[in-house]
Amino acid sequence: MRAHRLARGLSQAALAEMVELSPNYIGLLERGLKLPTIDTLVRVAKAVGARPADLLGDALPTDEWLDDMMAVASTVPRQHRELALAVLRVMATRSHSSG
């Protein structure tokens, strides 16, 4: 969000005024300390000339392991998915109880 705001030459105060929020709240959004409502996300995206999804990309954490897991899971044949999920659940349960 910050990069989009700066690309438009806007200060936090100017953006806040455009979307009727406080500059402090804009700062919290930019640092990922707060997540906006859908309405706020759309208003901010319009103000900075971006798509709402472009702004979410900055806020959503990435986890390469989960990305790899999803890629592998999508290749598991339907008849084996229940078993694969059961194995994963057992592994998760065991790691919580031994951690």
Domains of the chain: which residue ranges? 2-59, 64-98
On the 0-12 / 13-18 / 19+ scale of CB atoms within 10 A, 74 is: exposed
| CB neighbour list of residue 52: distance below 8 Å, 6 or more residues apart | 38, 41, 42, 45
* 69 compared with 45, residue with greater pLDDT: 45
Q: What is the pLDDT of residue 72?
A: 82
Q: CA-to-CA distance for 88 and 66, rounded, in angstroms?
A: 12
| pLDDT confidence of residue 23 | 96
Q: pLDDT tens digits, residue range 53-94?
A: 888 765 555 667 776 787 788 888 999 999 998 998 898 888
State residue 62's pLDDT score.
64
CATH code for residues 2-59: 1.10.260.40
Q: Mean of the pLDDT values across residues 34-43?
A: 92
CA distance 34 to 68: 28
